[in-house]
Chain A
Amino acid sequence: MIINKNGGVNLGKKKIMSLAFLMLLLISTVLYGCNGGDEGSEGDGGETGDEGESTEEKILIFGRGGDSVSLDPITVTDGESFKVTKNIFDTLVNFGAQDTEIEPGLASEYSASEDGLTYTFQLEEGVTFHDGTDFNAEAVVANFDRWAGGDADQFPYYGSMFGGFGDDEGHVLESVEATGDYEVTMTLKRPMAPFLKNLAMSPFGIASPTAIEEQGDAFGDNPVGTGPFKFVEWNRNDTVRIEKFEDYWVEGEPKLDEVVFRAIPDNSGRLNALLAGEIDLADGINPSDAETIKSNEDLQLYERPSMNVGYLGLTTTREPFDDPKVRQAMNHAIDRQALVDAFFEGYGEVAKNPLPPVISGYNDAIEGYDYDPEKAKALLEEAGLGDGFEMELWAMPVPRPYMPDGQKIAEAIQSDLAEVGITAEIVSYEWATYLEKAAAGEADAFLLGWTGDNGDADNFLYVLLDQDNIGSNNYTYYENQELHDILIEAQTEVDEEVRNELYAEAQEIIHKDAPWVPLAHSTPLLAGGSNVVNFQPHPTGSDKLAEVDLE
């Protein structure tokens, strides 16, 4: 230690501080040595779980890419929020374990009238909210009253799925009434085919009316539902902790004592955390890491059933893509199989329609455009563009399950197009800018995709390709009156078979007009420790963990 007379004292103090800190470091190292690395019993990479330190609690740690925005599901639209709220709230009806077929939820029975205008729900009895209040018909009505009394700013999904709020003309719900202690009757203004599927979506989880009243705006930080887990705490950008609800109405569930959702933004960092045994499940695994996981016996790979589509949109108002022949030529010019093999590592399938095959109404009879540069050239010749042309090709700046690497996919497409004489210049913008410019119709051709909300064909075809949605999700500005009529008719058609025929026809029209080059339906990957049992990834991206267990 150096202490001198004129001012160096300060430096000396600094050194003392540093030394003290070093000591602290040393002590901590020694402490670590004594405890023999107790943390999470990371033992031998991946082999982790309940036999952690001292307690017998079964704690599952779910590593994911981002944090939730709010835990009041009706106020948000992001998947990371729903991943958590799916386990805190129940919905009146549920999706199947790994599909979007409708099953009973909080409503043990439900029926629709012949004309599709009245739905009656028989509710489960003896269900309580986490705050101890009773779940009954009044509670359901209170939730619907709250939603219908809001606006698109407060409850965005309610407006987009049920056509509006309160007295809005488009609002499909005439009334929601308690017709018994445990019976709710909903009256619709017009038939709505995907009505039950909408009700099964995570945003429409039934919340405790008492808690909503008490908490007000803070409800998103203190959510109270009837779900298998109740909320414990939330460290923003880090962890959301939920614990077993002892009085859960489904016998024997949940199996776990606690679930922690941990945000680890970097995909490689998340995989490292899984390999080190710090997390039990990892969302968002890169296709290129799939082999590593498969060859590791401490880990298992999960495939989330695909409910998405990645596509190259062709803005139909911009030359030369206003000519269907050019758009068809683009479809023939791109080798989709090669794209799927190279960038999805086989975890995806080539798309020929705008909606994935798991969805009811998918038209498998359509024959996709085959990869045929000669045919593409011939079509270009017919369109008077035998010498090719120049265009901008927009590459997505962010990875999404349906588009793992926009830049590289764009480069592959660029070289495919070069073979038929089209010169594509790759352009990219920051994500929010990209979407805004694309929605304004400023792109010639752009990479984009969509993940379904409710597993209904309408949620793909109408939302993405109907003329009503130009300027929002119909980025290609594609307009076809015939298609529009079919899609509108299908929205109110309650007979499943007739409806599927309508959608089959719609897909024919879209195929012929070719506003997109549909590229792929990807299979998002997850990984988990080999001790995780009964985890079934759901196509919607929010997984119910009530049956999941640790061995």
Chain B
Amino acid sequence: MLHYIGKRLLQLIPVLLGMTFIVFMIIRAIPGDPAQVILGQQASEEAIKALRTTLGLDNPWYIQYFDYLKGLVTGDLGQSLRTRTPVVDEVWPYLAATIELSVFAVIIAIIVGINAGIISAWFQNSWFDYLAMVIALIGVSMPIFWLGLLNQWIFAIEFDLLPTSGRMNVRDPIDSITGFYIIDTLITGQFDQLATVMRHLILPGTALATIPMAIIARMTRSSMLEVMRSDYVRTARSKGLKMFWVVYKHALKNAIIPVLTIIGLQMGLLLGGAILTETIFAWPGIGRYIYEAISFRDYPVIQSGILIVAFIFVMINLFVDLLYSLVDPRIKYD
């Protein structure tokens, strides 16, 4: 097992290296001069030239690339061209905000999605099955933008139940310690603030969860249907075992593996794909951080931001692969 993990981690190096190269080339292929964008429309020619030199943008691309790699090896993710702050120093609050939101969304998606899928398969062709699958179909094709605004309107304005946006009540701010507000409020024992944080998570969390939830539900259903037809399930039922245990204990165990794969992929997509949700719900996360860096041609932030997200993505997938062997002992990595 450890051998396998070691091998997988080694394989990460060329993957990440290739990724830095592709990202590096793509962002330099798009026109637009960071120096011009930083200095604004008023800037003079000379000022722009001077800034290009200061930023090292005058060097040929391969020198810029190797400089970047050299920095990476020593843990230097570069310095934001816009804020002049090292990316390492400023990225954490954004990353924490996105992780908190994504984890919350994934948990909603898993709980609701898996159960909806199981029950749909259990009562195949029942009204619940039809309803759940129609909702799932709508969920997959729902524009997040529209759903988010609609939810804001219904739950925040019409019924006044939840806040429209943000991570906390700005009239009563939370002091950030770890960057995860749930953890911050828990360790300082501010339970009223914890409630506020949870309430702020619900709307963006459900908006972000909608698509993965629908995908997980559909995947679980089809996987469950297949397993439910197998012999061992019939045997279990003929033994007189309660249907609930047959479904949740015996069938689910075999049906869950393809679902796990999907969950792993969806989690990665959530991390990077949270841009829309973060925009509508004014969530100060890494999606918006990278997105805004793109319009400012903030190369180091784009490169390192994508690198971080990609790293988390591959780590999640590695984790999911390892999980297979725990769920199904027939799968062995050696």
Chain A interface residues toward B at CB < 8 A: 2, 4, 6-8, 10-11, 18, 21-22, 24-25, 27-28, 31-32, 35, 37-40, 42-45, 52-53, 59, 61, 66, 69-70, 77-78, 151-153, 156-157, 159-160, 217, 220, 233, 235-239, 241, 260, 262-266, 268-270, 272-273, 275-276, 278, 429-433, 435-437, 439, 450, 453, 463, 471-473
A260 partner, pick from B32, B107, B170, B292, beta carbons under 8 A: B170
Q: When the two chains form their complex, are residues B326 and A473 in contact, meaning their CB atoms are under 8 A apart?
A: no
Q: Is B266's beta carbon under 8 Å from chain A?
A: no
Given contacts A156-B40, A472-B43, contact A272 B83 (CB under 8 A): no
Q: Which of B58-115 contact A (CB under 8 A)?
A: 82-84, 90, 93-94, 107, 110-111
Least CB distance from A41 to B in Å reads 9
Least CB distance from B222 to A in Å reads 20
18 A-B pairs whose Cβ atoms sit less than 8 Å apart in the complex: A31-B191, A39-B169, A53-B172, A77-B40, A151-B47, A159-B47, A160-B43, A237-B94, A237-B284, A239-B173, A264-B166, A266-B282, A268-B280, A269-B282, A432-B32, A432-B37, A471-B45, A472-B45
Inside 8 A of A160's CB, which chain B residues have their CB? 42-44
A152 partner, pick from B46, B161, B191, B296, beta carbons under 8 A: B46
Given contacts A152-B47, A272-B153, contact A236 B90 (CB under 8 A): yes
Chain B interface residues toward A at CB < 8 A: 30-33, 36-37, 39-47, 50-51, 54, 82-84, 90, 93-94, 107, 110-111, 148-149, 152-153, 156-157, 160-161, 163-167, 169-173, 176, 191-192, 194-196, 198-199, 248-249, 253, 256, 279-282, 284, 288-289, 292, 295-297, 323, 325-329
Inside 8 A of A151's CB, which chain B residues have their CB? 47, 50
Least CB distance from A527 to B in Å reads 14
Q: When the two chains form their complex, are residues A31 and B195 in contact, meaning their CB atoms are under 8 A apart?
A: yes
Q: When the two chains form their complex, are residues B289 and A278 in contact, meaning their CB atoms are under 8 A apart?
A: no
Closest to B156 in A: A276
Given contacts A7-B326, A10-B327, A53-B171, contact A273 B164 (CB under 8 A): yes
Assembly CA distance A18 to B108 (angstroms): 9
Inside 8 A of B93's CB, which chain A residues have their CB? 235-236
Given contacts A52-B171, A272-B153, A433-B30, contact A156 B329 (CB under 8 A): no
Given contacts A40-B169, A273-B165, contact A77 B47 (CB under 8 A): no
Q: When the two chains form their complex, are residues A21 and B47 in contact, meaning their CB atoms are under 8 A apart?
A: no
Q: When the two chains form their complex, are residues A152 and B149 in contact, meaning their CB atoms are under 8 A apart?
A: no
Q: When the two chains form their complex, are residues B152 and A272 in contact, meaning their CB atoms are under 8 A apart?
A: yes
Assembly CA distance A43 to B272 (angstroms): 36
Inside 8 A of B110's CB, which chain A residues have their CB? 18
Q: Which of A6, A11, A237, A278 has the most CB of B within 10 A?
A: A237
Given contacts A25-B198, A263-B282, A433-B30, contact A278 B172 (CB under 8 A): no
Q: When the two chains form their complex, are residues B36 and A436 in contact, meaning their CB atoms are under 8 A apart?
A: yes
Closest to B286 in A: A237
Assembly CA distance A241 to B53 (angstroms): 35
Inside 8 A of A32's CB, which chain B residues have their CB? 195, 199
Least CB distance from A273 to B in Å reads 5
Q: When the two chains form their complex, are residues A264 and B282 in contact, meaning their CB atoms are under 8 A apart?
A: yes
Inside 8 A of A28's CB, which chain B residues have their CB? 194-195, 198-199
Closest to A19 in B: B111
Q: When the two chains form their complex, are residues A45 and B160 in contact, meaning their CB atoms are under 8 A apart?
A: yes
Assembly CA distance A276 to B200 (angstroms): 13
Q: When the two chains form their complex, are residues A473 and B323 in contact, meaning their CB atoms are under 8 A apart?
A: no
Q: When the two chains form their complex, are residues A276 and B157 in contact, meaning their CB atoms are under 8 A apart?
A: yes
Q: When the two chains form their complex, are residues A262 and B90 in contact, meaning their CB atoms are under 8 A apart?
A: no
Q: When the two chains form their complex, are residues B173 and A241 in contact, meaning their CB atoms are under 8 A apart?
A: yes
Q: When the two chains form their complex, are residues A266 and B327 in contact, meaning their CB atoms are under 8 A apart?
A: no
Assembly CA distance A35 to B39 (angstroms): 49
Q: When the two chains form their complex, are residues B280 and A61 in contact, meaning their CB atoms are under 8 A apart?
A: no
Given contacts A10-B326, A430-B30, A431-B295, contact A269 B47 (CB under 8 A): no
Inside 8 A of B32's CB, which chain A residues have their CB? 430, 432-433, 435-436
Least CB distance from A440 to B in Å reads 9
Q: When the two chains form their complex, are residues A272 and B156 in contact, meaning their CB atoms are under 8 A apart?
A: yes
A272 partner, pick from B33, B164, B292, beta carbons under 8 A: B164
Inside 8 A of B295's CB, which chain A residues have their CB? 430-432
Inside 8 A of A439's CB, which chain B residues have their CB? 36
Given contacts A25-B198, A437-B31, contact A153 B50 (CB under 8 A): yes
Inside 8 A of B297's CB, which chain A residues have their CB? 432
Q: When the two chains form their complex, are residues A61 and B170 in contact, meaning their CB atoms are under 8 A apart?
A: yes
Given contacts A24-B198, A236-B93, A436-B36, contact A153 B152 (CB under 8 A): no
Assembly CA distance A31 to B192 (angstroms): 7
Given contacts A433-B32, A436-B32, contact A236 B47 (CB under 8 A): no
Q: Which of B41, B169, B297 has the most CB of A within 10 A?
A: B41
Assembly CA distance A233 to B93 (angstroms): 14
Assembly CA distance A436 to B196 (angstroms): 45
Q: When the two chains form their complex, are residues A153 and B288 in contact, meaning their CB atoms are under 8 A apart?
A: no
Other than A152-B39, A272-B156, give 12 A-B pairs with Cβ distance below 8 A: A11-B256, A31-B195, A152-B46, A153-B39, A153-B50, A153-B51, A220-B84, A235-B93, A235-B176, A273-B282, A432-B36, A436-B31
Q: When the two chains form their complex, are residues B31 and A278 in contact, meaning their CB atoms are under 8 A apart?
A: no
Inside 8 A of B327's CB, which chain A residues have their CB? 7-8, 10-11
Q: When the two chains form their complex, are residues A276 and B249 in contact, meaning their CB atoms are under 8 A apart?
A: no
Inside 8 A of A10's CB, which chain B residues have their CB? 323, 326-327
Assembly CA distance A416 to B235 (angstroms): 76
Least CB distance from B294 to A in Å reads 8
Least CB distance from A307 to B in Å reads 15
Inside 8 A of A453's CB, which chain B residues have their CB? 42
Closest to B331 in A: A7
Given contacts A235-B93, A278-B165, A433-B30, contact A152 B281 (CB under 8 A): no
Q: When the two chains form their complex, are residues A238 and B166 in contact, meaning their CB atoms are under 8 A apart?
A: yes
Closest to B49 in A: A152
Q: Which of A59, A69, A432, A473 has the most CB of B within 10 A?
A: A432
Inside 8 A of B288's CB, which chain A residues have their CB? 237, 265
Q: When the two chains form their complex, are residues A69 and B82 in contact, meaning their CB atoms are under 8 A apart?
A: yes
Closest to A35 in B: B192
Q: When the two chains form their complex, are residues B171 and A59 in contact, meaning their CB atoms are under 8 A apart?
A: yes
Least CB distance from A518 to B in Å reads 18
Q: When the two chains form their complex, are residues A262 and B47 in contact, meaning their CB atoms are under 8 A apart?
A: no
Inside 8 A of A272's CB, which chain B residues have their CB? 149, 152-153, 156-157, 164-165
Closest to A4 in B: B249
Inside 8 A of A273's CB, which chain B residues have their CB? 164-166, 282
Q: When the two chains form their complex, are residues A152 and B82 in contact, meaning their CB atoms are under 8 A apart?
A: no
Assembly CA distance A456 to B161 (angstroms): 49
Assembly CA distance A149 to B324 (angstroms): 63
Inside 8 A of A78's CB, which chain B residues have their CB? 40
Q: When the two chains form their complex, are residues B40 and A39 in contact, meaning their CB atoms are under 8 A apart?
A: no
Given contacts A69-B82, A160-B44, contact A278 B329 (CB under 8 A): no
Inside 8 A of A37's CB, which chain B residues have their CB? 160-161
Least CB distance from B99 to A in Å reads 15
Q: When the two chains form their complex, are residues A40 and B171 in contact, meaning their CB atoms are under 8 A apart?
A: yes
Q: When the two chains form their complex, are residues B163 and A39 in contact, meaning their CB atoms are under 8 A apart?
A: yes
Q: When the two chains form their complex, are residues B42 and A269 in contact, meaning their CB atoms are under 8 A apart?
A: no
Closest to B42 in A: A160
Inside 8 A of B292's CB, which chain A residues have their CB? 66, 237
